[in-house]
Amino acid sequence: GRRNALTVELLDALIEQLAVTVQRTDIGAVLLRGRGPCFCAGFDLQAVVDDPMLLDALIERLSRAVRTMRRLPQTVVIAAHGAAIAGGCALLTGADAVFVDDGTIAGYPVHALGVSPAVTTPTLRQRIGDGPARELLLGGRLVRGRDLLDLGIATHWSDEAVETDAMAWARDAATRSSNAMRTTKRWINELDGSDRDMPFDGPVVDSRTLTGGDEAIEMLAAFWASRRT
């Protein structure tokens, strides 16, 4: 879709494909990338403006997609070119390796929409630490290029072709001992809490209390109207 905006159908397809991949012992790594000019521009806001209650389903699916990525026994690699905004940035935090370049821009500028980015908190704080996560989520700033690597959202810098570099890294990861890689990832998840649902479920429940409120509906409609004028 347009700028790879997240829809319920797209997130369901991602979750379904990841669930199938779990069973594939012949796959050692998974590469996610966006088609077109950007990785992912976040939720499909036009659909949400038309049906504000759709935001509930999107938040729940996004949380499920991110935790499924994190728990996947295979190594998950993302090639993030262009924008990775809000839900797109949340997907980055679910990966094991994230490649960016000069054109990558990411962050959570969603408070202006009356939407909380809390759904990304469990994996963002693991990725960049509590203090930086607090500043990024509350401040709403966008981070560009090499600053994403310095902050810790990205793990790898690409000087030339981000997708080519990410693919090469994923192929290399897939050649390593499958049992060793899976055991390593399983223990990382055990120790950092990624295998527990509670840290993921709480933010989803709280975010849902905002989605049907008058403030969120009005702010979303105003934002979308400003973009169309």
Taken in order of first residue, the domains within the chain and their CATH numbers are 2-228 (3.90.226.10)
* Residue type, position 27, single letter: I
Q: Name every residue whose Cβ is closer than 8 Å to that of residue 115 and which is 6 or more positions away in sequence.
A: 55, 86, 207, 210, 211, 216, 220
As a whole number, the mean pLDDT across the chain is 92
Predicted confidence (pLDDT) per residue in 7-56, tens digit: 999 999 999 999 999 999 999 999 999 998 999 999 998 888 888 888 89
Q: Please report the pLDDT score of residue 111 as a whole number.
A: 83
Reference 88, options 33, 124, 128, 41; nearest CA is 41
Q: Is the pLDDT of residue 210 over 80?
A: no
- Cα dihedral value 158, 164, 168, 169, nearest 10: 40
Q: Please report the pLDDT score of residue 113 as a whole number.
A: 82
Count CA within 13 A, CB hemisphere, residue 187.
Answer: 5
Rounded to whole angstroms, the Cα distance separating 79 from 92 reads 9
